[in-house]
Amino acid sequence: MPGMNQPEPEREKTPAELAIEQELKGTMQSLQDRVRQHEEAKPINPEIELRFTYHPPKGNQVARYERLRNFAKSFAYVIDQACPESREKSLALTHLEDAVTCANAAIARRE
């Protein structure tokens, strides 16, 4: 049948849609400018640099990461067996996971 798979003609945008589109373009340009400025700027906050830079493991760090993970895994099983299924149990496991992450970050970042 003729005309079946023809795309519908584009409708004209309303003034509100045009204003939103223009605002989004401006916002995107502003974000791109800010990213560009940041990339060109020298690091000014050593704590941000420390937190958001990869720190390859050195010395016995890997063994200590494993020790922390294994201890946390054992404790996670204790929580799993001792607590009923609940939001609180889920939070306890999440906070345990966060604790291991923070402990590992302390080792990686501060040595």
Residue ranges of alpha helices (H) inside the chain are 15-40, 46-51, 61-82, 87-110
Distance between CA atoms of residues 89 and 85, nearest Å:
6
Residue 3: what pLDDT?
A: 57
Question: Mind listing the pLDDT tens digit for each residue in 20-70?
Answer: 989 888 898 888 888 888 777 776 889 999 999 999 999 999 999 999 999
Please give the Cα distance from 100 to 65 (Å, whole number).
8
Torsion-angle region of 3 (φ positive above 0: left; ψ -120 to 50: alpha; else: beta): left
The DSSP 8-state label assigned to residue 56 in this structure reads -
* pLDDT tens, residue by residue, 69-92: 999 999 999 999 999 999 999 999
**What pLDDT does 9 receive?**
74
The three-state secondary structure class of 50 is helix
Tell me phi and psi for residue 44, to 5 degrees.
-120, -15
Interatomic CA distance for residues 107 and 17, integer angstroms: 51
